[in-house]
Amino acid sequence: MESLKTIVEQLSKILEAIGVVIIVLGILFFLIKFLISLLKEKSDNFKSLKMGLGKSILIGLEVLIAADIIHTVIIDPTLNQVFALGIIVLIRTFLSLSLQVELDGRFPWQKKN
C-alpha cells in the first residue's frame, strides 16, 4: 500500500508540473505569436492574444485541479485536507468560469447567438 501511495504522490506532482508547464508555454507561445502579428500589422492582435492566453490558463487550471484531487483523495484524505481541496476547487472553478465568460462573452450554459 505504501508503494502505491508513493507512486500516486509522484503522479500528482507530475500533473502539477504539467499544469504549470501548460500555462507557461501557452503564455510564451501566444506572446511570441502576438509580437509577430504586431510586426505584420494584423488588426486582431490583442483579441487573439487574450483568447490564447485564456485558453492556456483554462487548460492548465484543469490539470492542476486534477492533481489536487488525486493528491488529497489518495495521499492525505483528512477532513482538513478535503476542506482545503474544496476551497481550492471552488476558487479555481470560479477562475475558470470567469475566464470562460471573458473569452466567449457568455456563460457556458447560455446558447450561442
* Each residue's pLDDT tens digit, 24-40: 999 999 999 998 888 88
Are 46 and 38 in contact by the 8 Å Cβ rule? The answer is: no
pTM for the full model?
A: 0.77
Residue 28 pLDDT = 96
CA 102 to each of CA 10, 44, 77, 99, 105: distance values in angstroms, whole numbers, following the listed order: 34, 16, 35, 5, 5
Q: Quote the cell numbers at residue 12.
A: 500528482
Q: Where are the domains of the chain?
A: 2-104
Q: What are phi and psi of 108, to 5 degrees?
A: -60, -30
- 2-28 burial, b at 16+ Cβ within 10 Å, e below that, comes to eeeeeeeeeebeebbebbeebbeebbe
